[in-house]
Structures are given as structure tokens and as C-alpha cells.
Chains A and B, each alone.
Chain A
Amino acid sequence: MKSDYSNLLPLSPATLHVLLALTGGDLHGYGIMLEVARQSGGQYKMGPGTLYDNVKKLLKLGLIEEASAESSESEPRRKYHLTQIGSSVLASETERLTGVLREARRGLRLHEERHS
């Protein structure tokens, strides 16, 4: 059964980027910050304050969870893992954004045709 996540959409840009960053694997906070910067081509640099504001919300909503710590690390940092719900929400958001993009492209094309 497909769950309805429409009540969680649209995601804020920061939330979207955090979830997107975790699709590549479990990351700790600074890893998420680096991944977000990479995904946005360096245009969006997230600070720790914004990051953990969102991490706190996502943890509470169950979209992410703490990954189990690796004992080999000398200074363990908590890593975060994208949950199944988080993945589904991200998929829903991506679908929504795809629709938005489709509509945007269509609208722009029509606009250009009218003015050409």
C-alpha cells in the first residue's frame, strides 16, 4: 500500500537537501554539509545550526535515524541514515518537483511561442 505523504510536502530546501544527501549513504553532520554543497554546485552551503535544526525535525518525524556507530572510529560522530519513510517522502517530493518542472517547462515553451 502506498502511503500518502502529501501532508509532508513540499519539503523545505534545507530538508530536501539533507534527505538527498543521505541517499548516497550514512553521513555524519559535516558529511551532510559537504554533500549538500557538492550537490548544489557550491551554491548552497548549510551551516551546523540549520543542519541540526532539520536533523532534529527529521529524527522526530522518523524520516532519518541514527546509524549504528562504527567502533573503529577514534572520535565517533553520529551518522544519520535515511529511513524507508524518509526515502518515500523524498520520492514523493521528487515526483512533485518533477511535475512542477514539467509544468514550468511547458509554460515557458508556450510563453516563448506566443512571443516569437
Chain B
Amino acid sequence: MSNLQSQLYGAMIRLHPADFRNEFGREMTLDFEDALTSNGFARLYLDALLSLARQWAAYAFPQTTETPITQQSLLSGHYVMVSQGCLTFFDLARASILSAIFLLAIGFALTTSSSRITISLQASHEAQHKGITVAEANGQFPLSLQQTNVANHLASAPSWQTHSTRRGVPGRNLNGVETLRHDKRTGDTPSPELPNPLWRLAALIAFVSLATWLLHRNPHTGKKIIFTTLGFLTIAMPSAFGIMRMVPVHAQILHASGPVPSFEVATIRPWEPPPMPIGQPLPMKVSPGRLRGQVSDRVHFVGEAAILIASAYNLQLGHENHIVGAPAWVQQQSNRYEIQAKIEDSLYAAMQKMTPMQQREQVEFMEQSLLANRFKLKVHFETREMPIYALVVAKGGPKLSPAKEGESTRLFDTAESEHGIETTATAITLDDFARSPLVFGGRTVVDQTGLKGAYDFTLKWGREQPADSDTRQQNGADAPYLFTAIQEQLGLKLVPTKGPVEVIVIDHIEKPSAN
């Protein structure tokens, strides 16, 4: 007899309720050893597993053990009793509750891994709407994250490098990116966010305990009604959990649920990069708002069609790979377009009463309308399993300092040279960090560190991944590659994995007609 088999069976016996284990455990072990050859390990192990379920059910619901031996337990499910009488109301209620508990547990287990993704995406969506501003070098004015994204897109594009103030460094400008902490500053109504998984687990345990306690007793009619109600409610809960958790996956991409507004007037023309002196700010999307102290109802946008689509559908920075089925010209930097548009006065006046999030959505809907009219864009949405990164704690533990009291949440570049970039974060949660504008190869990053709270850190990193450390030194690039830097300096690690990601599928698109 294999020692491992014996140990496994012994472990199964130890999982039984104490009274049963104490009374029959030793003999079960002896019988297992005797019967192993004739019955086979798998059959005996399955038998013990079923026994385990029955005994715990009997422990949780003592009434089942008080019933005659012919009474078929709803949990045992071992023998078919043709002559079994009709199920009682209590049996149905109990079965409903038990089924719901099992479904809830299964749903909880299945969705736990994806919950972080969806919560992160939801939070990302929320944060994008609520609090991220870009500080221009010559003055602070609020713009959307999308603006930041587009700026980063443009800056990271090779054709822009010649116009960048950071010539020679593949430029992505994080200077002045400030992440405000959501509702406190904006006063927006927070979108619903799922409670902490531990709380959900605690709620589940509390519910199971309550149900167990209630079912210890022979209920009267009133209790039966309560049981039934609880049963139906708990059947609905797993479904609700699933729906709630899947919604944020879609929340990243902005979906129009009805007619969308349009710009009053818009011009689109192919864009040729003008000669730009060093220091000239990059063209970018300008949303309506206070621009250099002036209220504007104009939208100015420059970029290839993919970025326009990304902008209109609220895709995150570097996530153009979530646009699939597009012809090559959509991604080509040689096919950039400049859009200048004006918002209708009455609509613009109405937008002034909206929150920044609502204003931004209005503009995005107008962009969707523009793309549909001028680019003849038709899309649909699909959820696909795509590569993502899980941010986890590396071996050796995290190297993070807790944030100081009263600090505001910021993530910005404090220095940048051809040797690397220094990014400083203050009072930033790892969830915020995971969805920061740092480019992770177009992959969604999900915080799975389990670390709560806000942290301060400085990250020195290089944009290019050198072949090895010698090469790095030869090239004079002192800062390690971003992924390496995160591991070495923060004690965190980005692990490639896969997860559900919503993508935009291009059904049709054509180059825009002349104005």
C-alpha cells in the first residue's frame, strides 16, 4: 500500500466531524487498508469524500440524522428511493438555501481571480473621470486623463521624437501628471464599488452560520417562509455577483446606449507635422474646459485613427491593441488626422452643469458620432481572453514606505535624461499604480499584491530593455528596465497572465471624406 494513499485517506478521515472521526476513524483506516486491493484507491477515496459530505451535512442539520434510515437526505444523494414521499415545504426551502450556498461558494471562488481585474478597471474608469489632471509647463489647467493619454501616445510615437523637447529619449512625458484621490476633490457621486473580498467572505460565512443555526430547529410556518425567501434571495445573489463583477470589464470602454450627441461643426483633414522648435508643446486633444483661464467650447485633436477611436471609446493609454479588425492605415502614423470641432452652444451651456466625468463622456459620444459619420465607423464589442500583467509581491517582500500623513496622491516624473527616468509617487495605492499611465506593453495591469494603504516611492527606470547588465553599463543607461526596476526597487513583480478584456472590433471603417 502506498504511504501517500494512506496519508491521503487519513487526511480525509481527519476532515470528518470529530464525533464521527473519534468513533469510526480508526476502523475506517483499518478497513481502508484491507479493502484497498480489492476496491481500489479511487473508489475508496470517493466513498470517503461522499461520507465526508454526508457527515458534515448531518452535523450541520441534525434533523437529517433523526429521520428514519429511509429518509433520503437532500445532501446525501446516494440512493434513489422510488417510493419516497413528496418533498415537504421545508425540504424545498432547505434545498433552496443549500443550493444557493453552494452556488454562492462556487461563484465566489470562480470570480475572485477576476474581481481584482474588474474592480481595477472600474476604479480606473472612475479615476479617469474624476481626478486626473495634466499640468502644463506654463500653468495649471484641468484636462482629462484622455488628454494625458493622447499626449503620451503622441510623445511615444517615433515621428514625434524629432519634435519632442526630449530629443534622443523615446519620449513619454509624465511630468506633472497628478492623480487626485477621487471624490474628495471632485465631489462627484462615486460609482458603486464592490466591498473588500474579505468582507464578502465574512458575509458568506455569516450567512451560512445563520442558515445552519436556523435549520437546527424544526421551523414553524413563519420560519419556513423566511427560509424560502432566503433561499430565493441567495439564489439571486450569485447571479448578481457575477453580473456586478462583469460590468466593470465593459466599463472601461464607453458604450452608447442611445442616440449620441454630435458636434455643431467639425473639420477633419490629414495632418502633416509642422516644423516645431524645441520646447513647443505637443499638439494634443483639448477638451472643453478652462484652457489657460479661458472657457472653450472647441475640441482640437491630432492623431492616427486608432488613437481617435481609442479616445472616443475611452480606451486606456497604450491599449490600442484592444482595437481589433482594423485595416493597417488605422494604426499608421503616416495617416494622422487633425480634428477641429465646435460644440453647439446650447449643448455646451448644458454641459456646464455636468460633472467633469459627464462632460468628458459627452465629448466622447460626439467623437463617436463624428467617427461614425465621417469615417463610416461601425464597431461591436467582445470580451476576449488577453494577456495581462498581475502585480504581485516579489521574493523578499515589498520595499515600500507607507505614505506620510496628509500627503496628496501624486505620480510624476521628477527627472528624465538619456540615462533613464525617475518617477516619484506619493501616497499612491498599488491599485492606483497598476493603472497608472506607465506603459506596460499595452497590457492591463491588475494589482494582486494584497497590500492595502498608500505608499511613497521613487522609481528609477529605463525605457529600453538592455540585453544584460554589461550592455546597460556600456550604453551608459544606469537605470534598469521598468519591469526590473519595479522588482529591484519596489519588491514587486509583474507576472504575465491572462484575463478577460473587452475589445473593440472594427466592423467597417474608411478614410474620411473631404470636408
Hey, which bits of chain A sit against chain B, CB under 8 A? 7-15, 28-30, 33, 37, 45-58, 60-61, 63, 75, 77-78
Hey, which bits of chain B sit against chain A, CB under 8 A? 20, 23-24, 27-28, 30-32, 34-35, 38-39, 43-44, 46-52, 54-55, 65, 68-70, 72, 78-79, 81, 83
In the complex, the answer to whether A58 meets B69 with C-beta atoms within 8 Å is: yes
Q: List 22 A-B contacts (CB under 8 A).
A: A8-B70, A11-B69, A15-B69, A28-B27, A29-B28, A30-B30, A33-B31, A37-B38, A45-B35, A45-B43, A47-B51, A48-B27, A48-B35, A48-B48, A48-B51, A50-B78, A51-B31, A53-B51, A53-B54, A54-B69, A56-B24, A75-B30
Partner of A10, one of B27, B32, B54, B83: B83
Tell me the bound Cα distance from A98 to B20 in angstroms: 35
In the complex, the answer to whether A10 meets B70 with C-beta atoms within 8 Å is: yes
Tell me the bound Cα distance from A37 to B34 in angstroms: 14
In the complex, the answer to whether A47 meets B70 with C-beta atoms within 8 Å is: no
A29 surroundings in chain B (CB, below 8 A): 27-28, 30-31
Tell me the bound Cα distance from A48 to B52 in angstroms: 11
Given A50-B51, A50-B78, A52-B27: A57 and B44 interface contact (C-beta under 8 Å): no
Q: Which of B20, B27, B30, B32 has the most CB of A within 10 A?
A: B27
Q: Give B54 Cβ to nearest chain A Cβ, in Å.
A: 6
Tell me the bound Cα distance from A18 to B55 in angstroms: 18
Task: Label chain A's interface by main secondary structure.
Answer: helix
Q: Give B62 Cβ to nearest chain A Cβ, in Å.
A: 11
In the complex, the answer to whether B28 meets A52 with C-beta atoms within 8 Å is: yes
Partner of B68, one of A8, A28, A30, A45: A8
Q: Which of B35, B49, B69, B83 has the most CB of A within 10 A?
A: B69
The 4 A-B residue pairs whose C-beta atoms are closest, nearest first, are A49-B51, A47-B47, A52-B24, A49-B47
Tell me the bound Cα distance from A58 to B69 in angstroms: 8
Tell me the bound Cα distance from A47 to B54 in angstroms: 14
A13 surroundings in chain B (CB, below 8 A): 79
B24 surroundings in chain A (CB, below 8 A): 52, 55-56
Partner of A77, one of B27, B39, B43: B27
A46 surroundings in chain B (CB, below 8 A): 47
B31 surroundings in chain A (CB, below 8 A): 29-30, 33, 48, 51
